[in-house]
Amino acid sequence: MLSVSQAEARILELVHPLKTVETVTLREANRRVLGQTVVSVQDFPYWPNSAMDGYAVQWEDVAQATPHQPDRLTITEEIPAGQEPQRVLLKGQAARIFTGAKLPQGADTVIMQEQTQCQGDQVLILSAPSQKGHFVRSQGEYCQKGENLLEAGIRLQAPELAVLATAQVSQVSVYRRPQVAIFSTGDELIAVEQTLTGAKIVDSNQYALAAFVENQGAIPVSLGIVPDDPDRLKSTMAQAIVSADLVLSTGGVSVGDYDYVEKLLAELGGEIVIRSVAMKPGKPLTVAKFANGCVYFGIPGNPVSALVSCWRFVQPAIAKLSGLSAPWSPVWVKAQTQTRLTSDGQRETYLWGRVQCSSTGDLTFAIAPGSHSSGNLINLAQANALAVLPIGTKEIASQETITLLLPQGL
């Protein structure tokens, strides 16, 4: 049996970024992965401008100003934001200026209006600025022409879209989103809208996995429920493998008489690279690689195992496939556990619960109350962290520091 980190490393070796790019509008680019580094074609700010409402001056004129000995300057013009300055500023002069307005030539410093007193066409400067250039946003201070504005391989979100807009990039090159086929296997499964009878249960994994895939920025393609019938299972698997970049099927990967996935993967020509992982929940994870590049995840059917497997292994795979820059591993943080945590010590154990920021600013972990059975999907609701107990650790005392996996990242 592979360790969790060995399994993750194997998965990342199998997966290669889909480097096909497509062009989308800026509005469509939210949450997409940037496919091409954007080089700045201009300086930011474009020109020196004022960070305050006040007066643009020459530093040397006002360097000694105090409330008792203010400097008196002659006002040359008023420069609102959006208006080109009309005059070069000379010694002994000040220009009335507003936040974001372009600095007139000759000015190097801005005095905020609270430190001034206007007297007709003159202004008294009541205090010296701390340094030359005070309250001026100088040209190229944020980024200079020719520098990289945004690197390929980053996820575009609100701040990055603002950067692209300011650089007038209205069409964005992004990587194609991975297509992820999802289906559930099991004779016991019915769809959510069907009537529950006899020994049936509702296929909840389909919804969990589709939402998970969507949250990773990939496209879920639902293939529904497939019964534990080798022929039907094989044909759905074959269809998924030829049409998707990644396949996630749940169920049928244990050692039961009706668990056909591994055998069928081999029959379909898959190279099986993982058969099980020393992990709880999630031990029967099966991973295979196909000649067309498709990577198949046979995920255990228990609802908690299914999501924990996705968070621990599928998330890095989708991240790499999507063209995101490394690291692809999940996000880990340290926190203090509020209760004792236990495991049998045999496998790397993941316990679900909530991480919170305490009033002192420390992260604390509260395990979800109730059963930590891999079938108990009820107390998985509202979990935002998985506490990890390494192999060999049977107990972690309350108040000890633990490692948490954050499924939603930071």
Name residue 352's amino acid: W
Binds 249: which of ligand AMP, Mg ion, none (CB < 5-8 Å by kind)? none
Residue 303, interface with ligand AMP (CB under 6 A)? yes
Whether the bond between 316 and the residue before it is cis, its omega within 30 degrees of 0, is no
Specify the stretch interacting with ligand AMP by CB under 6 A; choose among 65-73, 75-83, 156-164, 300-308: 300-308
Of 242-271, binders to Mg ion (CB under 5 A) are 251-252
- By CB under 5 A, tell whether 217 contacts Mg ion: no
Q: 186 or 270, CB closer to Mg ion?
A: 186
Pairing of strands 109-112, 279-280: unpaired
CA atoms within 13 A of residue 109's CA, in its CB half-sphere: 19
Residue 113 interacts with, from Mg ion, ligand AMP, none (CB under 5-8 Å by kind)? none
Residue whose CB is less far from ligand AMP, 199 or 410: 199
Using the rule CB under 6 A, give the single segment among 78-86, 89-97, 183-191, 310-318 that binds ligand AMP. Answer: 183-191
Residues 123-162 that bind Mg ion (CB under 5 A): none
Query: Which of residues 35, 178, 186, 282 is near Mg ion by CB under 5 A?
Result: 186
Distances (CA, A) of 223 to 165, 181, 239, 250, 314: 38, 7, 9, 12, 18
251 is an interface residue for ligand AMP by CB under 6 A? yes
Q: Is 281 in the site for ligand AMP (CB under 6 A)?
A: no
Helices then strands, each counted (H, E), the chain: 8, 28
Give the C-alpha separation, 17 to 38, whole Å: 19
DSSP H helices, 273-324, are 303-309, 315-321
- The answer to whether residue 301 forms part of the interface with ligand AMP (CB under 6 A) is yes
Nearest to 283 by CA among 270, 292, 274, 296: 274
CB nearer to ligand AMP: give 174 or 247. 247
Binding flags for Mg ion, 291-330, as an x/- string (CB under 5 A)? ----------x-----------------------------
* CB of 185 vs Mg ion, minimal distance in Å: 6
Q: Angle CA(147)–CA(150)–CA(153) in degrees, nearest 5?
A: 135
Judged by CB under 5 A, the number of residues near Mg ion is: 4
End-to-end Cα distance, the chain: 31
Element (H, E) at 214: helix 205-215
Cis peptide before 327 (omega within 30 of 0): yes
94 lies in the binding site for ligand AMP (CB under 6 A): no
- Rounded Cα distance, 248 and 270, in Å: 14
Q: State the CB neighbour count (10 A cutoff) for residue 191.
A: 11
Residue 220 vs residues 69, 176, 182: alpha-carbon distances, Å: 71, 13, 7
Smallest separation, CB 234 to Mg ion (Å): 16
Judged by CB under 6 A, the residue of 85, 252, 270, 330 near ligand AMP is 252
Based on the shown chain and the rule CB under 6 A, indicate whether residue 204 belongs to the binding site for ligand AMP: yes
Convert 216-238 to b/e letters by CB count within 10 Å (16 or more is b): bbbebbebebbebeeeebbebbe
Pick from 34, 17, 28: nearest CA to 174: 34
* Closer residue to Mg ion in complex, CB, 116/305: 305
Region from 234-242, 244-252, 270-278, 401-409 binding ligand AMP, contact rule CB under 6 A? 244-252
Of 31 and 275, CB closest to ligand AMP: 275
Among 300, 323, 330, 353, binds ligand AMP (CB under 6 A): 300
Phi and psi angles of residue 250, each rounded to the nearest 5 degrees, phi first? -115, 145
Site string for Mg ion, 348-387 (x = CB under 5 A): ----------------------------------------
Decide: is 276 part of the binding site for ligand AMP (CB under 6 A): no
Evaluate whether 54 touches 109 at the Cβ level (below 8 Å).
no
Residues at the site binding Mg ion, with contacts judged by CB under 5 A = 186, 251-252, 301
| Residues near ligand AMP, by CB under 6 A | 184, 186, 188-189, 201, 203-205, 250-254, 256, 300-303, 375
